[in-house]
Every structure is written in C-alpha cells, then in structure tokens.
Amino acid sequence: MTDLVWPSREDPVVVAASEGLGGPAGRRIRPGSSRVMAALLILTTLVCALGLLAKQPCRAEAWTGEGIYPHLCYSDIAFLYRSRGDVVNGGSPYASPDVEHQALEYPVLSGLVIGVVGWVTHVVAGDQNETDRSRTFFDLTVLVLAACALASTWLITRTAGRRPWDAAMFAVAPSLLLAAYINWDLPAVALTAGFGLAWARRRPWLAGVLLGLAIAAKFYPLVLLGPLFLLCFRSGQLRPFARVLAATAASWFVVNLPVRLLWPDGWRSFYTLSQNREAGFGSPWYALDRSGFYIPQDSLNSIALGLFVVLCLGIAGLALFAPRRPRLWQLGFLVVAAFLITNKVYSPQYVLWLLALFPLARPRWRDWMIWQLGEVVYFVAVWWHLEGLSNPDLGVPEWTHTGATFLRILTTLWVCGMIVRDIFRPELDPVRANGADDPAGGFLDGALDKRHTPARPVPVAG
C-alpha cells in the first residue's frame, strides 16, 4: 500500500485538530501499511477493553442486581444464557427443555456462537452456581466479540485501500465502546466486512459465502444484495453478481438446514417474532405511540414495510439514474439506514451495523461526530427510559426517549443526506475527489457506466 491518504492533510476536522499537535503529517512520512494496521488494532483493543470496563458494575453481580439501567451497563448476554434453550446445560439454544427456557429467537449462526460458548462454559464452569456461570459465559462471549471487532477493523482497513486511516472511525467509535457487548451483532458485522473485502478483491464466490453466513448471523446484510444487483446491472457485471447470489444462497441454506431439521419450532422463532412483534424501543413507531399516536399491529407491519419499500425505490433510483454510478458502499449505507429508520425496533447495538459501513461510505470526521453524538444521546436515553418504566417514582420525562429517538434518526439522515450529495456531486466525495471511481467496488471499479461520460476530475474535498 503506497501513497496513503492522511486525514491530517485532507480532512478539515483533523487538519484543524492537528494544528495543536505539530500540524499535518509531513510529506516525508511514509510508514508501511503494517504500522497503520497495528495502530488501528491497538486502538480497537483499547476501546474493547474500555467497553468491558463499562460493563463491570453489572458484571460484578452477573446482571442480577439493581442499577442495570442507570449504570448504562445492560447486556442481553447473561440474561439469554439463563433463559434460552438448553444453553445452561451445554445444549442447543433452539431446544425447549421446559417452560422456563424458550427457544432462541436469533438466526442460526448467532445461535451457533451462543451454543458453542455455552458448551465451553458448561465444561469449564459446570460446578459453579448459576450466577458465576453466567459471568463466565459473558466473559467467554466477550473474547469472541472482541475478536470479531478486531477482525472488522482489519477487514475495513484492507478494503479502504489508500485510505486505511478511515477505519479509525470504526476502531475508536463511542458506539463500539458502548454497544459491543450488548448482544451478538459483531460476528455478523465481521462477516459483512469480510464480504466487502472479498468483493473488492474480485472474489465473488468467497464474497457470497461470507454474505450468506452474515445473513445467517443477523438478517440485515440481506438488504445489501439490492444495491449490488442494481450497480452490477448498470455496469454490465451481472455474471459476478450471479456468482455472489448463488454462493450466498448456498451458504445460508447449508448452515440453516441442520437447525431447521432438528429444531423446526426453534428455527421458526426468529421469523415469527419479526412478524408479530409490536413497536419497540428506539423506533419512530414506539415514539409516536408514547406520544399518543397509536398504530395497530396489523397496520404497523404494512406501514413500516411500505415506508422501507418507498425508501428502497428512491435508493434504486439513485443506483440506476444518478449522473454517475454511485459507489457500492454509499448505497450499502443508505439501504441499511433505511431499514433501521423504518424498522419496528431499534436496539442500541444496531448502530454497529452502520458503524462498519461508515468509513467506506462517507469518510469525513465531521459527519461521523454528528452521527455518533445522536447515537450516544440515544444510548443514555433508552436505559433511563427503561429505568423510568421500572421505577415510575423516578419521574423520568417521557420526552427524553422520544426526543433522543428522533435526534438519532435526524443525525442518521444527516449522513444519508451527505452521501446523496456526494452521489450527485462526486467532486465532494472524499473517495472520488482525486479522480478514483469505486476503489472498494471490485468488479464495479472502472467498469462501464451506461449513463456517465467521464470528465476531468475536480480535486475538491467536501
């Protein structure tokens, strides 16, 4: 990796901040890419360690004491260990041994991670009481999730090419610190990042396998197939897309089939919950409900899906009719953001889905800070809202959660607006400002664009 892009030379926020630290990096500085990678991995490790420290008030009592919400240290991990499937006995999370242990409501690859860690916990801590075993299960899960965070940083850095420092937007994000250990989202994030790198290196079969596994861990990566298809259609690259699609379907089917055959009711629980759940915390629908605008369940499914479809049609219009073909991860961010904005629930850890896409979609620190501010405010507000529901005497104002929800949505829309602007004005896109096409686009990079006649690039950064 040569001729690296230095944020202190081209990002306005970093340039201004560097003035108090000796100024921008000098022209003679040319460290190897391995040093950049090492620095980013160290930063990720520090953030993950701080994330574990932030969970310590709850970890000390294995999430059985008071203060889980006001201390901002809630996690699903220990709770679900004690209540899902036969995990406490080292068995499958999709089994239902008794009425107190329901089947896990997550896709199968997340269930595999939970089951394997549960089995290891049963082996190494089987003689401990339930509280101590819950803590051991959490600690072992943290190791897996931290490894996934490090893998994500590595993969994003490699995909970013000449802009490896953009991956710092993932590595040092407050959202990574706060949300890494709430649930099992980081395996899907790492697999999706792996898909991105494989596609960028023009390895469609591997990209498809990794995308299928990502969908088998968390369902959201499925929406990335839409932008990929449209961009491949516009550029005449449908053959690589077909390979990705075939490999995606095959890998998803292979990992789902055993659970579907052995525990069919448990396998269906994720899809049943997604269809039947009501408006949940963090969604605009819940905020409207708490403000007196109740939407019946049957109507909510139709409205949420309909709004998502409308946004997807707008994104499809950008993909097909923008003056210049958009970059893959610009549209990838937009479609995942559309899913999260319209979804019936927004759990705080869902921010990780977008966090791994941001460095490739809109690598500007100003917009990153605006967006992260909205996410941090929401993170605090949702836990205090839950504490207020549990202890009404505290008098937590209703508007704090509602306001934080819409602030989060607005900051996400801000980033989306900047991406749409970049699509229509490529000279303001940090990635394209030097005349590049789509460095992380794989087969799309430099490919035919049926609607664009190349013009001389204007090297102006936005």
pLDDT at 275 over 60: yes
Lowest mean pLDDT of 37-46, 166-175, 186-195, 276-285, name the range. 276-285
For residue 172, the enclosing domain spans: 31-444
Residue 164 near residue 1 (C-beta atoms within 8 A): yes
Q: Residue 428 domain-assigned?
A: yes
Q: How buried is 413 (Cβ within 10 angstroms: 0-12 exposed, 13-18 middle, 19+ buried)? A: middle
Q: Residue 73 and residue 199: Cα distance in Å, rounded?
A: 37
Task: Output DSSP code: residue 393.
Answer: G
φ and ψ at residue 263, rounded to 5 degrees: -135, 70
Q: How buried is 22 (Cβ within 10 angstroms: 0-12 exposed, 13-18 middle, 19+ buried)? A: exposed
Q: Residue 227 and residue 330: Cα distance in Å, rounded?
A: 9
Lowest mean pLDDT of 58-72, 131-145, 266-280, 416-430, name the range. 266-280
Question: What number is the average pLDDT over the span 280-292?
Answer: 92
Q: What is the pLDDT of residues 18-52, one digit of tens each?
A: 665 555 655 655 556 788 999 999 999 999 999 99
Both tokens of 226, joined, read 């839409």
Q: Name the band, by pLDDT with cuts 50, 70 and 90, for residue 66.
A: confident
Alpha helices in 19-85 (DSSP H): 33-54, 56-59, 76-83
Which residues make Cβ contacts (< 8 Å) with residue 142, sequence separation at least 6? 52, 181
Residue that is written with structure tokens 């969604």 in the block: 283
Q: Name the band, by pLDDT with cuts 50, 70 and 90, for residue 8.
A: low
Q: Residue 435 domain-assigned?
A: yes
Q: Residue 106 and residue 13: Cα distance in Å, rounded?
A: 40
* Domain count within the chain: 1
Q: Residue 462 domain-assigned?
A: no
Residue 310 near residue 206 (C-beta atoms within 8 A): no
pLDDT of residue 62: 87
Q: What is the pLDDT of residues 302-338, one digit of tens each?
A: 999 999 999 999 999 999 999 999 999 999 999 999 9
- Look over the chain and give the mean of its residue pLDDT values, rounded to a whole number: 91
pLDDT of residue 12: 79
Q: Residue 311 domain-assigned?
A: yes
φ and ψ at residue 294, rounded to 5 degrees: -75, 135
Q: Name the band, by pLDDT with cuts 50, 70 and 90, for residue 456.
A: very low
Both tokens of 245, joined, read 């699609």
Q: Residue 257 domain-assigned?
A: yes
pLDDT of residue 11: 73
Residue 266 near residue 104 (C-beta atoms within 8 A): yes
pTM of the predicted model, to two decimals? 0.93
CB 291: neighbour CB atoms within 10 A?
11
pLDDT of residue 452: 59
Lowest mean pLDDT of 92-106, 240-254, 292-306, name the range. 92-106
pLDDT of residue 297: 80
pLDDT at 212 over 70: yes
Q: Residue 4 domain-assigned?
A: no
Q: What is the pLDDT of residues 224-238, one digit of tens each?
A: 999 999 999 999 999
pLDDT of residue 461: 44
Q: Residue 9 domain-assigned?
A: no
For residue 84, list its beta bridge partners: 102
pLDDT at 1 over 80: no
Q: Residue 3 domain-assigned?
A: no
Higher-scoring residue by pLDDT: 82, 11? 82
